[in-house]
Amino acid sequence: MALALDYVGINLGDPMFRGVYRGTRHHADDLVQVMRRARNAGVDRLIVTAGNLKMCRQALDLARDNDDMYVTIGCHPRNAAEFDRFRGGPDAYVKAQKAFLIDPANKKKIVAIGECGLDYDRLFFCPKEIQLKHFHRHFELAEMTGLPMFLHDRNTGGDFARIITENRGRFKEGIVHSFTGTQDELKTYIDLGLYISLNGCSLKTEENLKAAAKVPLDRLLLETDGPWCEIRPTHASFKHLKMTKEQQDMYKPRAVHKERFEFGNMVKGRNESCTIGQVLLVLSDLYGMQPDDLAEICYQNSLRVFFPQELVDSEENK
């Protein structure tokens, strides 16, 4: 099956993919096997999410060693306090972000600005006031580069929508990543011309499924947000997950606890890119579509957002 690419929302820089959980090593580095399973599942390109300057450097180092890997450049809302703590302050922080963006060596590897936005569910990471203070700096980067924005919104009481509305003319395309909002919020984002990216966390409840079913197909993207946001048996989406043996081998390979790690197996509780096929199958069942057809639609949407030149070149070569 030709899959929609896992273009957004894979956090391959997370230490879990190196065998380290909460600062403690539990098993050997198996990132190569994680990437191999992704490719076996039909994922032929990966966009690694970067949430601060350190992660940007790590993601770029990883992407330079892999032709099928690309990165985002931004500051996750939970890390927004780094703007103030940075030597030289917020302006110096933005200057460091811009340095990644203007480096010719990175030109073909950076494909989005973010992850950026607001997160009021986890204010223990960063106070609301600090997030609001620095979110707008990412519009400056998007305006400078013309790159799409990879956006984060969690329980923001209208603040996220207001800021996006105020700055909508400053960026071309935007993706609301890991969407878990209401149908009303969905309508607001669609009216703003944004894309909606869904993963396991987007499909937990019946209300989530009702909202997911309303996403226009020409605005739909798929993701995993690994190592988080897996589809679980307790989720409302699970009843829609119907797999053949071949699909299970690709999208839900055998998993073991990290304490019993074996090369070649997934780790229980650590989501991976190969599971994007599960998201596809759930949504295909929800929409009453063939998985191949939905995969192709999402694939084309992904190209339109992140690799528009490929579509131009394809048309010219017809």
Sorted by where each begins, the domain ranges of the chain are: 6-316
pLDDT of residue 310: 86
pLDDT of residue 316: 73
What is the DSSP pairing of strand 195-198 with strand 174-176?
parallel
Query: Residue 4: what are its φ and ψ, rounded to 5°?
Result: -65, 140
CA gap 169, 1 in Å, rounded: 38
Question: What distances in angstroms separate CA 113 from CA 7, 116, 148, 308, one per listed residue?
Answer: 13, 8, 6, 16
CATH of 6-316, one of 3.40.50.300, 1.10.287.1080, 2.70.170.10, 3.20.20.140: 3.20.20.140
pLDDT of residue 174: 98
Residue 46 Cα to chain centre, angstroms: 10
For residue 304, give both structure tokens: 């339109």
**For each of the chain's 318 residues, which pLDDT tens digit applies?**
445 555 668 999 999 999 999 999 999 999 999 999 999 999 989 999 999 999 999 999 999 999 999 999 999 999 999 999 999 999 999 999 999 999 999 999 999 999 999 999 999 999 999 999 999 999 999 999 999 999 999 999 999 999 999 999 999 999 999 999 999 999 999 999 999 999 999 999 999 999 999 999 999 999 999 999 999 999 999 999 999 999 999 999 999 999 999 999 999 999 999 999 999 999 999 999 999 999 999 999 999 999 998 887 777 777
pTM of the entire structure?
0.96
Q: Which amino acid is at 303?
A: L
Residues near 259 by beta carbon (within 8 Å), at least 6 away in sequence: 26
Number of H helices, E strands in the chain: 13, 12
Residues near 76 by beta carbon (within 8 Å), at least 6 away in sequence: 51, 52, 115, 116, 119, 152
CA gap 292, 215 in Å, rounded: 18
CA gap 167, 144 in Å, rounded: 14
Q: CA dihedral in degrees (244, 247, 249, 253; nearest 10)?
A: -110
Q: How many CA atoms within 13 Å lie on the side-chain side of 292?
A: 2
pLDDT of residue 314: 74
Residues near 243 by beta carbon (within 8 Å), at least 6 away in sequence: 251, 252, 278, 281
Give the residue among 300, 258, 272 at the shortest CA–CA distance from 40: 272
